[in-house]
């Protein structure tokens, strides 16, 4: 009997909300078989989802720009209330409200012990690293749903200290599952510090989160570049400088703001669906631009998604993730490149404290906008059109008006 509903990919440009089975305290059979673990998951909990967000990474799948099969469940940005727990969950209780890192991590492998939870070795037979509701990430059911299973719960979950306070600040706290730590990771690995001049490529939610994170880290100037004026206006709403990257060489646009054609550090929050001009896709353009405008000896944070399989790419090389990057330029300028999934657990507790004590206003920065689970298909369409909003799904009506 179907006792759960989840958002499902139905083909390029189409998602639907469908009925599925209520989750069991079991890991996916493919993970258990390949990784030598039991299907039974006494280490897991089932969450009643309080809030779950639409992410730009989901949009790549929905556009048909990954190898996601029809029927792929969606959603990896999850905040929820524990309604059931396994016998081996020791430090969490039914009723706790928790943030779920989008990285699924066992807590027991070498990488997890080194806090590299974005590349856990035990939760995905295909490669290191896993996530809820994502292609090639182990077959875990997505969290744009009413209920979801979270394995290795004692390790993975971040419990909010006070239920009433958590619900009051839920629109900020819901960003802890992915985009706030991911944006912070981009800024942190770019080595943003007091007085830095920073360029952030992309004014989508992750780019806006990176810009807000750069401010928290003490940047003197944060410049956000994009082609979408509505999104650039959102960046200006919390104190960023902005450039329309179609309006001239980026280094000249930057010089008009900081007086020189370079910044101390840069963040790529765009990824492989980058464009130099509206309608002209150029997957390596942002990687090359940030090398051009970052000073010699600077660092580049690259949280933007790059894939190994892109069937919609314009050329065969890009279809397998091979891009024409000016690596010689980066080498000559002694740049440091930081890539890959954000290890959310490295940052989420500190960012939670910043939210709870009113030091961070991430919901305002990304324009958090609440919609119902049934409105998810329209939310995907609006987001794909470039809406300057971060859509937050409210499956059980628990988000206060």
Count of beta carbons in the 10 Å neighbourhood of residue 311: 12
pLDDT at 344 over 60: yes
Would you identify the CATH topology of the domain 180-339? Answer: Rossmann fold (3.40.50)
pLDDT at 311 over 90: no
Helix ranges (H only) for 157-249 are: 163-168, 170-173, 179-189, 205-216, 229-236
Distance, CA of 325 to CA of 335 (rounded, Å): 13
% helix / strand / coil in the chain, to the nearest 5? 30, 25, 45
Cα-Cα-Cα-Cα torsion 236, 210, 267, 376, nearest 10 degrees, comes to: -90
pLDDT at 312 over 90: no
The token duo for 375 is 């409105």
> What confidence category does residue 2 fall into, taking pLDDT thresholds of 50, 70 and 90?
low
**Which architecture characterizes domain 2-178+343-393 according to CATH?**
Alpha-Beta Complex (3.90)
Distance, CA of 329 to CA of 221 (rounded, Å): 24
> Which pLDDT score, from 0 to 100, does residue 1 have?
44
In a 3-state reduction of DSSP, which class is residue 196?
A: coil
Query: Rounded mean pLDDT of the chain?
Result: 96
Closest C-alpha among 273, 311, 7 to residue 132? 7
Beta strands in 290-367, from DSSP E residues, in sequence order:
294-302, 336-339
Each residue of 137-181: pLDDT tens digit? 999 999 999 999 999 999 999 999 999 999 999 999 999 999 999
Q: What are the contacts of 216-222 at 24+ separation with CB within 8 A?
A: 216/184, 216/354, 216/359, 216/360, 217/187, 217/188, 217/192, 217/193, 218/192, 218/193, 218/194, 219/187, 219/192, 219/193, 219/195, 220/194, 220/195, 220/196, 221/196, 221/197, 221/257, 221/258, 221/263, 222/198
Any bridge partners for residue 77, and if so which?
53
pLDDT at 103 over 90: yes
Apex 74 CA angle, 68 and 77, nearest 5: 130
> What confidence category does residue 280 fall into, taking pLDDT thresholds of 50, 70 and 90?
confident
The token duo for 191 is 């080595």
pLDDT at 275 over 90: no
> Which pLDDT score, from 0 to 100, does residue 261 have?
98
pLDDT at 385 over 50: yes
In a 3-state reduction of DSSP, which class is residue 219?
A: coil
| No. of helices (H) and no. of strands (E), the chain | 16, 17
Closest C-alpha among 143, 159, 147 to residue 72? 143
> What confidence category does residue 63 fall into, taking pLDDT thresholds of 50, 70 and 90?
very high
- Asked if 95 and 81 touch (Cβ cutoff 8 Å), the reply is yes
Q: Where are the domains of the chain?
A: 2-178+343-393, 180-339
Closest C-alpha among 143, 201, 177 to residue 347? 177
Cα-Cα-Cα-Cα torsion 31, 103, 343, 287, nearest 10 degrees, comes to: 100
In a 3-state reduction of DSSP, which class is residue 292?
A: helix
- Asked if 157 and 176 touch (Cβ cutoff 8 Å), the reply is no
Integer distance in angstroms from the first to the last C-alpha of the chain?
A: 32
pLDDT at 401 over 80: no
The percent of residues above 70 in pLDDT, for the chain, comes to: 100
Report the relative pairing of strands 275-277 and 97-100 from DSSP bridges.
unpaired
Q: What is the mean pLDDT of residues 195-220?
A: 98
The percent of residues above 90 in pLDDT, for the chain, comes to: 93
- Asked if 268 and 288 touch (Cβ cutoff 8 Å), the reply is no
Predicted TM-score (pTM) of this structure: 0.96
Closest C-alpha among 145, 147, 149, 148 to residue 17? 145
Q: Among 271-280, 285-294, 317-326, name the most confident range.
A: 285-294
């Amino acid at each position: 009997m179907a006792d759960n509903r989840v958002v499902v990919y139905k083909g390029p440009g189409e998602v639907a909300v469908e009925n599925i089975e209520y989750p069991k305290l079991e890991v996916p059979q493919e993970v258990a078989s390949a990784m030598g673990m039991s299907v039974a998951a006494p280490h897991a909990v089932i969450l009643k989802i309080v809030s779950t967000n639409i992410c730009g990474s989901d949009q790549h799948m929905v556009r048909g720009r990954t190898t996601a099969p029809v029927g792929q469940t969606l959603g990896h940005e999850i905040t929820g209330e524990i309604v059931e727990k396994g016998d081996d969950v020791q430090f969490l209780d039914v009723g706790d409200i928790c943030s779920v890192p989008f990285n699924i991590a066992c807590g027991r492998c070498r990488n997890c012990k080194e806090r590299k939870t974005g590349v856990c070795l035990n939760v995905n037979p295909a490669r290191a690293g896993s996530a809820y509701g994502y292609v090639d990430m182990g077959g875990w059911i997505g969290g744009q749903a009413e209920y979801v299973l979270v394995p290795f719960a004692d390790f993975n979950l971040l419990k909010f200290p006070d239920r009433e306070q958590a619900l009051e600040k839920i629109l900020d706290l819901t960003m802890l599952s992915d985009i706030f730590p991911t944006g912070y990771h981009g800024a942190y690995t770019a080595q943003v510090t007091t007085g830095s001049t920073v360029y952030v490529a992309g004014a989508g939610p992750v780019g806006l989160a990176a810009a807000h994170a750069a401010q928290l880290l003490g940047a003197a100037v944060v410049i956000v570049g994009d082609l979408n004026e509505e999104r650039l206006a959102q960046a200006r709403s919390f104190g960023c400088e902005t450039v329309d990257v179609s309006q001239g060489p980026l280094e000249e646009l930057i010089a008009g703001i900081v007086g020189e054609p370079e910044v101390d550090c840069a963040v790529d929050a765009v990824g492989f669906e980058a464009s130099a001009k509206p309608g002209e896709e150029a997957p390596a353009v942002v990687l090359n631009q940030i090398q051009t405008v970052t000073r010699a000896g600077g660092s580049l944070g690259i949280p933007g998604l790059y894939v190994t399989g892109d069937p919609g790419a314009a050329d065969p090389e890009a279809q397998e993730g091979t891009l024409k990057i000016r690596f010689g330029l980066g080498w000559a300028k002694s740049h440091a490149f930081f890539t890959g999934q954000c290890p959310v657990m490295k940052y989420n507790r500190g960012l939670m404290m910043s939210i709870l004590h009113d030091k961070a206003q991430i919901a305002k920065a990304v324009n958090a906008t609440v919609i119902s689970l049934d409105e998810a298909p329209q939310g995907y369409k609006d987001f794909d059109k470039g809406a300057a909003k971060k859509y937050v799904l409210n499956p059980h009506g628990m988000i206060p008006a």
